[in-house]
């Protein structure tokens, strides 16, 4: 059976595709000498691996957790004549490959990509032949260079603190896809809930004068259609919807959307909702002020590291969070796969899109190289997901950060997406005037001093900190809690924030006190508890690493379901 057999892009689906997951030839290239040794042209490599799981994972069949600056993959693929007949194009897609990737088809380089967290593809038509074809992928991953984002991947041999097992090379689905000569490249959707319409901006690979059409449906009922002529590779359409069904928290109302350009057909979807921020830093969803009840989700799995073993695990993590009363998540120090975001869309689960900036020294001018292009790709790819209510390109940057890099990335994000708020750098060192929401991270374990601090902020006193040169009045506490609770009490390197409670009752009182301090403060507009699950030695999850609840889930739901003071 092919692992992760589902189509990776539910927001942009075509019928003609081949899933290339499963067994590939594999070779570790610790000295990065593979090209000199001719691995790109060889027919065999020395080992085997199960794609899309990284070599460090058990599911890969390898489980090698040591540093490796380069890895190689090779697979033989049969291409039928119908895929190359006429004027068709064939694209090789890679869901994610950490970090710098070069693809060879039958020994010839078909393209390179820099970035370990976002999907990319190459047109490989001219390199293919009918019958047997050899696809070779080389991935260089210099995690310790400080010149590339690596998230929570450990820079030591071992995992420690809140740094975990690395992910090298391919960690999301690889697939081939066939399109006509003229095809739809991408699409963005702009819902307008005031006039019950959706505007669609389509980029198409075709001659000017071609026609792009779109039709929308809800629950199988037709809702409207439109068409437009392509000019300069772009077509702009507007569909007036027959019925308005709002996408909202816990209500993942999705409209189906079919896009056509010539012989190309793409199945997609969209949600009707609006997101703004008011003067107090609160999220306004569909014209209603909400209180963000979020949990920190790091997207690590015991057997697959960065990659869930199956789609059900993606769904179940969302349901585990919702069962405790959380309504969304900060997707933390990792770019989550489109399949996960689809289920957030479907279930009405709000999330913040974040890059894995840890490991990147944002003081160095070299930090611009690679980061700008990859973040642009992330925002462009995930723009269509209604579940994403904001962007956070950086998290906990250092005090000597290059402020120009931060402000430039915020400005770029706003140009790419005019519909969502942006937090410049979550939690620590903000750049004055760069953020739409002032957030803060606070792991004080004492509910009394924690409560007093934010009552003081509500009374006009800034947070006392050494990381900024201007007053900070946070309205969104985007990391708090992190209460250490090792259910097994057998991890010699167990890690969490502050002192662990002595009893279950003490844990619950601490959670209740910290959480209600934020819920019942009129100045605070959102919270994000650290965290959903344990990750390896980090034991401050509400679930264990193997997804077992540490406490009765109803306890958390009862507290979080209380009306917040800032809510309408």
DSSP string, 249-264: TTB---EEEEEEETTE
**301-356 confidence digits (pLDDT tens):** 999 999 999 999 999 999 999 999 999 999 999 999 999 999 999 999 999 999 99
- Token representation of residue 12: 């942009």
Structure token pair of residue 433:
């005037």
**Which of 228, 184, 187, 236 minimizes the C-alpha distance to 206?**
184
Find out whether 251 and 327 touch, Cβ atoms under 8 Å: no
Residue 368: the pLDDT is: 84
Provide the sign of the torsion angle of the four alpha carbons 94, 97, 100, 101, taken in this order: negative
Please report the pLDDT score of residue 98 as a whole number: 95
Mean pLDDT confidence for 254-266 = 97
Cα distance between residue 186 and residue 163, in whole Å: 35
User: What was the pLDDT predicted at 232?
Assistant: 96
Given the candidates 3.40.50.1970, 3.10.129.10, 3.20.20.80, 3.30.450.20, the CATH classification of the domain at 292-560 is 3.20.20.80
pLDDT the model gives residue 527: 98
Residue 470 reports pLDDT greater than 90: no
- Mean pLDDT of all residues belonging to the chain: 95
pLDDT given for residue 120 in this prediction: 97
Share of the chain above pLDDT 90, in %: 90
Q: In the prediction, which pLDDT does 544 show? A: 97
Helix (H, G, I), strand (E, B) or coil at 380: helix
Which class would CATH give 22-172? mainly beta
> Can you say how many angstroms the Cα of residue 566 is from the centroid of all Cα atoms in its chain?
28
Phi, psi of 195 (to 5 degrees): -115, 15
Task: State the architecture of 183-192+194-245+250-275 in CATH terms.
Answer: Sandwich (2.60)
Q: Which of 81-90, 266-275, 547-556 has the lowest mean pLDDT?
A: 81-90
Per-residue pLDDT, 401: 87
Question: Would you place residue 494 in the very low, low, confident or very high pLDDT band (cuts 50, 70, 90)?
Answer: confident
Q: What pLDDT is recorded for position 365?
A: 86
CA 159 to chain centre: 22
How does residue 126 score in pLDDT terms, banded at 50, 70 and 90? Answer: very high
Q: Is the pLDDT of residue 74 over 80?
A: yes
Residue 230 to residue 218: CA distance in whole angstroms: 27
pLDDT tens per residue, range 525-544: 999 999 999 999 999 999 99
- Please state, in angstroms and rounded to a whole number, the distance separating the CA atoms of residues 567 and 565: 6
Name 363's Cβ contacts closer than 8 Å, sequence gap at least 6. Answer: 398, 400, 401, 402
Alpha-carbon distance of 273 to 253, in angstroms, equals 10
Res 403: pLDDT: 87
The alpha carbons of the chain give a radius of gyration, in whole angstroms, of 24
183-192+194-245+250-275: same fold as 22-172? no
Q: Is 465 left (phi over 0), alpha (psi -120 to 50) or beta?
A: beta
pLDDT for residue 487 is more than 90: no
The number of residues making up the chain comes to: 568
The pLDDT, as a whole number, for residue 369 is 85
462-475 mean pLDDT: 85
Judged against a pLDDT cut of 90, whether residue 244 lies above it is answered with: yes
Q: Pairing relation of β-strands 425-426 and 476-481?
A: unpaired
**What ranges make up the beta strands (E) of 497-538?**
526-530
Domain boundaries, the chain: 22-172, 183-192+194-245+250-275, 292-560
Of residues 545 and 405, the one with the higher pLDDT is: 545
Residues 6+ apart with CB under 8 A from 333: 151, 152, 298, 354, 356, 357, 358, 395
| 31-35, 131-135, 202-206, 395-399: least confidently modelled range | 395-399
Beta-sheet strands, E only, within 308-393: 328-331, 350-354, 388-392
Indicate whether 79 pLDDT > 90. yes
Residues 6 or more apart whose CB falls under 8 angstroms from that of 392 comprise 330, 352, 353, 354, 355, 422, 423, 425, 426
Among all chains, which residue has been given the structure tokens 């077509």?
A: 235
Return all residues near 522 (Cβ < 8 A) that are at least 6 apart: 458, 565, 566
pLDDT at 464 over 90: no
Give phi and psi for 394, each to the nearest 5: -135, 155
Asked whether residue 398 carries a pLDDT value surpassing 90, the answer given is: no
Q: Residue 488 pLDDT more than 90?
A: no
- Copy the structure tokens of residue 405: 């890099």
How remote is the C-alpha of 155 from its chain's centroid?
A: 22
- Has this prediction a pTM greater than 0.85? yes
């Amino acid at each position: 059976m092919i692992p992760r057999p589902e189509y990776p892009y539910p927001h942009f689906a075509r019928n003609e595709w081949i899933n290339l997951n499963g067994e590939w030839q594999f070779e570790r290239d610790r000295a990065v000498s593979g090209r000199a040794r001719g691995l790109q042209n060889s027919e065999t490599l020395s080992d085997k691996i199960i794609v899309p799981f990284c070599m460090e994972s058990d599911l890969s069949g390898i489980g090698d957790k040591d540093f490796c600056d380069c890895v190689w993959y090779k697979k033989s693929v049969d291409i039928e004549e119908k895929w190359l007949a006429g004027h068709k194009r064939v694209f090789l897609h890679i869901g994610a490959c950490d970090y710098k990737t070069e693809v060879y088809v039958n020994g010839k380089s078909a393209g390179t990509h820099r970035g370990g967290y976002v999907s990319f593809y190459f047109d490989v038509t001219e390199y293919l032949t009918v019958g047997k074809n050899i696809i070779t992928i080389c991935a260089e991953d210099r995690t310790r260079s400080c010149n590339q984002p690596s998230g929570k991947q450990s820079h030591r041999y071992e995992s420690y603190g809140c740094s975990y097992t690395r992910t090298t090379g391919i960690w999301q689905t690889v697939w081939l896809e066939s399109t006509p000569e003229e095809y739809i490249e991408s699409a963005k959707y702009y819902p307008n809930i005031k006039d019950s319409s959706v505007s669609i901006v389509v980029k198409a690979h075709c001659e000017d004068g071609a026609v792009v059409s779109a039709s929308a449906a809800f629950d199988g009922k037709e809702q409207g259609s439109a068409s437009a002529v392509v000019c300069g590779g772009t077509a702009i359409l507007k569909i007036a919807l027959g019925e308005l069904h709002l996408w909202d928290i816990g209500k993942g109302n999705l409209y189906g959307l079919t896009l056509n350009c010539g012989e190309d057909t793409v199945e997609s979807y969209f949600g009707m909702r609006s997101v703004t921020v008011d003067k107090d830093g609160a999220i306004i969803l569909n014209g209603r002020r909400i209180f963000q009840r979020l949990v920190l989700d790091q997207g690590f799995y015991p057997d697959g590291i960065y990659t869930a073993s199956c789609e059900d695990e993606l769904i179940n993590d969302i349901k585990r969070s919702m069962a405790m009363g959380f309504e969304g998540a900060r997707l933390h120090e990792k770019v989550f796969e489109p399949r996960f975001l689809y289920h957030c869309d479907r279930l009405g689960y709000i999330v913040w899109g974040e890059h894995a900036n840890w490991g990147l020294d944002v003081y160095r001018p070299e930090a611009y190289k690679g980061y700008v292009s990859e973040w642009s790709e992330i925002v462009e790819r995930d723009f269509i997901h209604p579940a994403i209510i904001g962007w956070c390109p950086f998290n906990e940057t250092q005090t000597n950060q290059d402020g120009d890099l931060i402000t430039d990335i915020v400005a770029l994000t706003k140009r790419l997406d005019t519909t969502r708020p942006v937090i410049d750098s979550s939690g620590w060192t903000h750049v004055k005037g760069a953020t739409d929401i002032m957030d803060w991270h606070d792991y004080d374990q004492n509910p009394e001093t924690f409560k007093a601090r934010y009552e003081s902020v509500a009374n006009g006193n800034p947070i006392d900190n050494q990381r900024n040169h201007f007053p900070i009045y946070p309205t969104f506490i985007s990391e708090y809690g992190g209460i250490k609770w090792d259910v097994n009490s057998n991890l010699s390197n167990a890690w969490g924030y502050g002192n662990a409670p002595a009893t279950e009752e003490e844990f619950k009182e601490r959670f209740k006190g910290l959480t209600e301090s934020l819920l019942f403060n009129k100045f605070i507009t959102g919270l994000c508890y650290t965290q959903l699950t344990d990750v390896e030695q980090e034991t401050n999850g509400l679930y264990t690493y193997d997804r077992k609840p540490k406490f009765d889930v109803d306890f958390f739901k009862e507290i979080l379901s209380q009306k917040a003071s800032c809510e309408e």
